[in-house]
């Protein structure tokens, strides 16, 4: 039961891809949205990087299994590959405040994550 709770099996939210962009090295970056109109927590927008197209099941698993590169409660996210090893995550209107950010990573695998228009959170030791 505890395993199911922490892996999203009882999450009734809807997971959708908002934007996808392939790199020349066949890496896929996506901006996805988790919406749940029954809960009061509001929509969450997050970024993932992988080597395949993400299904709704894949998005849910990544959301609950530390697969997220960035997550915030703002719908301004845009992604763009700078090169095969650098992904730029931008907030189009610079509206994200630090307290809206739940996850922010600087690296995933061999991909460096750069941010523009998004506050950079200090690293926790």
- What is the spatial distance between Cα 101 and Cα 108, in angstroms, rounded to a whole number? 17
Contact present, 114 and 79 (Cβ < 8 Å) = no
Residue 53 lies in a domain: yes
Whether 123 maps to a domain, the answer reads no
Domain that holds residue 44: 2-116
With 70 as the cut, is the pLDDT of residue 61 above it? Answer: yes
Residue 33 falls inside a structural domain? yes
> Would residue 125 count as lying in a domain?
no
Q: What is the pLDDT at residue 84?
A: 95
The per-residue pLDDT for 46 is 96
Least confident stretch, 38-52, 57-71, 76-90: 38-52
Position 56 pLDDT exceeds 60: yes
- Average pLDDT over all residues of the chain: 87
């Amino acid at each position: 039961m505890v395993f199911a709770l922490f892996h999203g099996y009882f999450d009734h939210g809807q997971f959708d891809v908002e934007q996808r962009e392939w790199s020349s090295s066949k890496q896929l970056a996506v901006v996805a949205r988790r919406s749940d109109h029954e809960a009061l927590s509001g929509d969450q927008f997050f970024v993932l990087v992988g080597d395949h197209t993400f299904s709704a099941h894949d998005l849910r698993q990544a959301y609950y299994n530390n697969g997220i590169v960035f997550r915030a409660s703002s719908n301004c996210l845009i992604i763009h590959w700078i090169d095969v090893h650098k992904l730029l995550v931008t907030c189009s209107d610079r509206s994200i405040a630090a307290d809206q950010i739940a996850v922010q990573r600087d690296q995933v695998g061999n991909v460096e994550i750069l941010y523009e228009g998004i506050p950079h959170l200090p690293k926790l030791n």
